[in-house]
């Protein structure tokens, strides 16, 4: 161990000196500033959009509150070069603050900002082709020298069929000083164009209105952390830590006592069901409260990336209104800059092992017991295996990752030279980079690709469960209660059911994300056989769940829309 320690110190020193030599040969005029390995250069044009922010009198941007600033964006469109002498796409007011938790210690800061009107009030604005909203993020990705890790997680989640943060790479000039490459992205927020769940006002405190929508998270209480509640269940029976949930929507200052009580009880009921001996029951167990497919996909993103923060920090969840299929859904994914082989602690640098089995018991933030418990459910494991096998054929294939990584790195090839001239950190340790440290940008990219291939191979060999034909649908024994035809179906779906007496029948169609697409109630006039026909011609092709409620019992079958 002592020899290894001396070897590591020697190699870190070697790479540091090598990096200095490389930067001295770039041929770019530069001056170095302090201990931040930062130099100054002037940006005049870029193949990326250019963002220029100017605060009043060059005022330093605080953590909180937001201060006023002028925002300009130069963007001539895809494939066009952008010059700071061009007419800006946007020129207006904004409010800006430093964001992040541990990342605030880095010299290259991340920022959150709002678009403001002339009176300083937030106003929805469309930037860089993204849907109009007021809250945005400029993510520095200082520790991620590939700039790929956050956006790759967002893109995988989007490809899986969920809302994921939209993003665009830009170069930033702040108060006349070049700052480097940033990810200009949406902030996670309830909105029809972002996380599209029901709006919940302070007057909605009863009935179906009270049941949604909510966004909550497990996270540090620094940075954007706030009020919330503590889980009644510890991460495991040996742990001294607790799990703390935080309100995200409605915000701490807006959520009412009734709404606090409702979401706390719902999460408590979910955890209690998951702890129970009957937790696998499809009607009374955890599936009553949780949308299983989102838990499967969230698990896969965190395990693909071997995310050391996975499940325990920056973990967002949401709950839709009951009338819209309201169950707990995992996501959106957020904060993956130290995932994908970019952490030198708690196993984040190795391709083997499970992220949910977080190997650092003394860390103050632990993984909830949920994930271990879910993997004790044979049906969940089999559904997980099927989802993995399906996605490995397309959006999680080696080829997809290679193509995506090559595409983004190619787009950044010009700007990365300026970024790493400004921030001279290639070949140098930045917490928590694993050793050895690549001395070039393409070295960083190739290291990531190699790690990704090995991680995918390990998961191929170790994903639990056995795939069967019932993947993704929690079905009950229903063939003797109702039948559906044709199946597969393109336009009109017929549902034939038998009632022993006059009865109210509820019929729901639900997609694989748990959203209720149609909800029909009908009353059988007498006992006997009945047929309902539903028009599904506008549905996207895929697998759907049809659920019938009758005599207080629920029965389900799946069908395929072609």
pLDDT per position as a tens digit, 274-297:
999 999 998 889 999 999 999 999
**Would 197 be classed as within a structural domain?**
no
Closest CA to 334 of 213, 453, 455, 218: 218
At which of 459, 474, 497 does a domain end?
459
User: Within this chain, do residues 365 and 282 fall inside the same structural domain, yes or no?
Assistant: yes
As a whole number, the mean pLDDT across the chain is 88
Residues 6+ apart with CB under 8 A from 207: none
Looking at the structure, tell me whether residues 503 and 426 fall in a common domain. Answer: no
Who has greater pLDDT, 415 or 516?
415
Tokens of residue 415, six digits: 């700007």
Integer Cα distance of 34 and 20 in angstroms: 15
Q: Report pLDDT digits (tens) over 92-128.
A: 999 999 998 777 889 999 999 999 999 999 999 999 9
Does residue 470 lie within any of the structural domains?
A: no
d(CA 93, CA 114): 9
Q: DSSP assignment of 174-221, as one string?
A: ETTEEEEEEEEEEPP-B-TTSB------TT--SGGGGG--EEEEE--S
In this structure, are strands 67-74 and 90-99 parallel, antiparallel, or unpaired? antiparallel
pLDDT value for 24: 36
What angle do helix axes 292-304 and 441-462 make, rounded to 10 degrees? 130
Taking the C-alpha atoms of residue 35 and residue 77, their distance in angstroms, rounded to an integer, is 37
Model pLDDT, residue 468: 65
Answer yes or no: do 111 and 40 share one domain.
Answer: yes
Q: What does the pLDDT look like over 322-349, one tens digit per residue?
A: 998 899 999 999 999 999 999 999 999 9
**Do residue 233 and residue 349 come from a single domain?**
yes
Is the domain of 62 the same as that of 158? yes
Residue 555 pairs in a beta bridge with 548
3-state secondary structure of 278: coil
Do residue 182 and residue 327 come from a single domain? no
- State the residue range of the domain holding 540: 482-561
| pLDDT number for residue 5 | 39
Q: Is residue 292 located within the same domain as residue 437?
A: no
> What is residue 470's predicted lDDT score, i.e. its pLDDT?
45
φ/ψ of residue 374, rounded to 5: -60, -40
Q: Answer yes or no: is 60 within a domain.
A: yes
Q: In the predicted model, is pLDDT for residue 259 greater than 80?
A: yes
CA–CA gap between residue 188 and residue 168 (Å, rounded): 15
Residue 153 and residue 32 in one domain: yes
Does the structure show a pLDDT above 80 at 430? yes
**In the chain, pLDDT over 70 holds for what percent of residues?**
86
> What is the pLDDT, as a whole number, of residue 183?
98
In a domain, 509, yes or no: yes
Do the strands 38-39 and 45-46 form a parallel or antiparallel pair, or are they unpaired?
unpaired
Question: What pTM, to 2 d.p., does this model score?
Answer: 0.80
Structure confidence at residue 514 as a pLDDT band (50, 70, 90): low
How far apart CA 332 and CA 125 sit, in angstroms, is 22
Q: In this predicted structure, what is the pLDDT of residue 476?
A: 44
Give the chain's domain count. Answer: 3
Same domain, 229 and 324: yes
Closest CA to 53 of 92, 19, 24: 92
CA distance 50 to 71: 11
Question: For residues 423 and 108, is the Cβ–Cβ distance under 8 A?
Answer: yes
Q: Is residue 509 a contact partner of residue 484, using CB atoms and an 8 Å limit? A: no
Q: Say if residue 115 is in the same domain as residue 234.
A: no
Single residue among 344, 376, 408 that ends a domain in this structure: 376
213 pLDDT more than 70: yes
Confidence of residue 30 (pLDDT cuts 50, 70, 90): very low
User: Region 352-359: what's the mean pLDDT?
Assistant: 97
Does residue 472 lie within any of the structural domains?
A: no
Q: Does residue 408 sit in the same domain as residue 534?
A: no
CA separation, residue 93 to residues 1, 84, 89, 119, 261 (Å): 56, 18, 13, 9, 38
Q: What is the pLDDT of residue 480?
A: 55
Sheet containing 553-561, strands listed edge to edge, beginning at the edge strand earlier in sequence: 516-524, 503-510, 542-550, 553-561
Average pLDDT for 471-492 = 66
Mean pLDDT of 126-143: 97
| Weakest mean pLDDT among 8-12, 91-95, 551-555 | 8-12
Q: Are residues 408 and 275 in the same domain?
A: no
Q: Give the pLDDT score at 229.
A: 97
Phi, psi (rounded to 5 degrees) for 410:
-65, -40
Query: What digits encode the pLDDT tens for the residues 158-182?
Result: 999 899 999 999 999 999 999 999 9
Helix (H, G, I), strand (E, B) or coil at 74: strand
Q: Residue 467's pLDDT is what?
A: 84
């Amino acid at each position: 161990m002592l020899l290894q320690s001396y070897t590591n110190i020697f190699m870190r020193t070697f790479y540091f000196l090598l990096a200095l030599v490389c930067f001295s040969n770039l041929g770019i005029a530069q001056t170095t500033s302090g201990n931040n390995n930062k130099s100054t250069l002037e940006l005049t044009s870029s193949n990326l959009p250019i963002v220029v922010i100017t605060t009043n009198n060059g005022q330093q941007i605080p953590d909180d509150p937001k201060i006023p600033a002028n925002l300009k964006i130069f963007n001539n469109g895809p494939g066009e070069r952008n010059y700071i002498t061009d007419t800006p796409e946007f020129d207006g007011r904004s409010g800006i603050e430093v964001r992040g938790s541990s990342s605030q210690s880095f010299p290259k800061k991340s920022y959150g900002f709002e678009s403001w009107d002339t009176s300083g009030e937030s106003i929805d604005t469309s930037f860089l082709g993204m849907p109009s909203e007021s809250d945005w993020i400029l993510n520095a990705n200082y520790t991620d020298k590939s700039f790929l890790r956050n956006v790759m997680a967002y893109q995988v989640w989007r490809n899986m069929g969920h809302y994921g943060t939209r993003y665009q790479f830009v170069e930033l000039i702040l108060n006349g000083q070049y700052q480097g490459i940033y990810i200009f992205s949406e902030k996670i927020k309830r909105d029809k164009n972002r996380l599209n769940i029901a709006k919940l006002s302070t007057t909605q405190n009863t009935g179906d209105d009270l049941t949604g929508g909510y966004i909550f998270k497990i996270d540090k209480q620094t940075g954007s952390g706030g009020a919330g509640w503590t889980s009644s269940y510890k991460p495991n029976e040996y742990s001294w830590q607790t799990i703390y949930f935080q309100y995200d929507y409605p915000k701490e200052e807006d959520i009412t006592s009734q709404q606090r009580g409702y979401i706390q009880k719902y999460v408590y009921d979910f955890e209690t069901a998951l702890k129970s001996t009957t937790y696998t029951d499809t009607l009374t167990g955890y599936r009553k409260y949780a949308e299983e497919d989102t838990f499967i996909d969230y698990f896969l993103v965190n395990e693909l990336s071997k995310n050391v923060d996975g499940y325990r920090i920056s973990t967002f969840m949401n709950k839709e209104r009951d009338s819209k299929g309201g169950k707990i859904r995992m996501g959106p994914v957020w904060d993956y800059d130290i995932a994908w082989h970019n952490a030198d602690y708690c196993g984040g640098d190795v391709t083997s092992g499970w992220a949910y089995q977080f190997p650092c018991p003394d860390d103050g933030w632990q993984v909830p017991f949920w994930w271990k418990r879910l993997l004790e459910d044979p049906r969940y494991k089999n559904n997980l295996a099927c989802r993995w096998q399906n996605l490995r054929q397309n959006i999680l294939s080696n080829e997809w990752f290679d193509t995506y990584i090559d595409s983004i790195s190619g787009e950044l090839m010009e700007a990365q030279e300026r970024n790493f001239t400004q921030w001279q950190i290639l070949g140098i340790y930045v917490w928590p980079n694993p050793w050895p440290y690549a001395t070039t940008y393409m070295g960083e990219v190739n290291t990531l690709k190699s790690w990704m291939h090995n991680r995918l191979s390990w998961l191929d060999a170790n994903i639990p469960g056995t795939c069967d034909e019932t993947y993704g649908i929690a079905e009950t024994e229903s063939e003797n209660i109702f039948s559906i035809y044709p199946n597969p179906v393109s336009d009109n779906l017929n549902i034939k059911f038998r009632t022993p007496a006059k009865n109210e029948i509820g019929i729901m169609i639900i997609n694989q994300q748990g959203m209720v697409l149609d909800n029909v109630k009908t009353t059988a006039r007498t006992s006997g056989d009945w047929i309902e026909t539903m028009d599904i011609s506008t549905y996207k092709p895929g697998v759907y769940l049809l659920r019938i409620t009758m005599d207080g019992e629920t029965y389900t079958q799946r069908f395929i829309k072609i």
